[in-house]
Amino acid sequence: MSSAAPATLPARPHLEHEARLYAAGAARWVAGIDEAGRGPLAGPVVAAAVILPRDFKHRYLTDSKRLLPRRRADIYRELTNSLDVVWACATLDAQEVDRLNILRATHEAMRRAFAALAQPADHALIDGLPVHPFPVAHTALVSGDAISLSIAAASVIAKVTRDRQMDELDARFPGYGFSRHKGYATSHHLAALAREGPCPIHRFTFRPVAQPLLPFAGARPTA
């Protein structure tokens, strides 16, 4: 069972969607789910699932894309160090993205993150569109990371987790500037890709990585 709800964007994310589910007896535990890394040419896609306390409040938490890196890191530290916040992440690498396609890989990452929660949830609020199949009833919220505090928390955890993974990958595959652009198709990344050719963490099914005339900087991933 799933439903798609229209988005109305308040000044700040809130817990109204979660509260309605709790009040209606539709769920004992509601998890917010979001991803990071759908658009880049390289690196993993990461999803996070988060269950917040019912009385959770935060002055700054919102969609991770609206936060400066330092603020995002501070909120990530608060969330992941809180004993009252239940969270989990799942990562699918570039080879899995190429094998499944990015939409299926994103949905699989969301399912894995949800399944990894130490406290199982019985309803999920998912950023974007419905995910099929999904193990429990879920509500898809367009721009959910700007509406729901649970999804906003997931967006921050997924984003910081992926950014840190890209920093580590930058050390393994120097010359592309992964720590600078996180794998997105910036002019700097495209110039490096044309100069160096793709490396093993590039998504070979993505343009312009798939251009046949580019040299290879390492082994091509296998299916």
pLDDT in tens, 42-75: 999 999 999 999 999 999 999 999 999 999 999 9
Residue 220 in any domain: the answer is: no
Number of domains the chain contains: 1
Residue 194 in any domain: the answer is: no
Residue 206 in any domain: the answer is: no
pLDDT at 12: 87
pLDDT at 2: 57
Q: What is the domain-level CATH number for residue 42?
A: 3.30.420.10
Q: What percent of the chain has pLDDT over 90?
A: 87
> pLDDT tens, 147-169?
999 999 999 999 999 999 999 99
pLDDT at 62: 97
Domain range for 121: 11-170
Residue 99 in any domain: the answer is: yes
Q: What percent of the chain has pLDDT over 70?
A: 89
Residue 187 in any domain: the answer is: no
Torsion, CA 113, CA 116, CA 121, CA 123, rounded to 10: 30
Q: What is the pTM of this model?
A: 0.91
Residue 191 in any domain: the answer is: no
Residue 61 in any domain: the answer is: yes
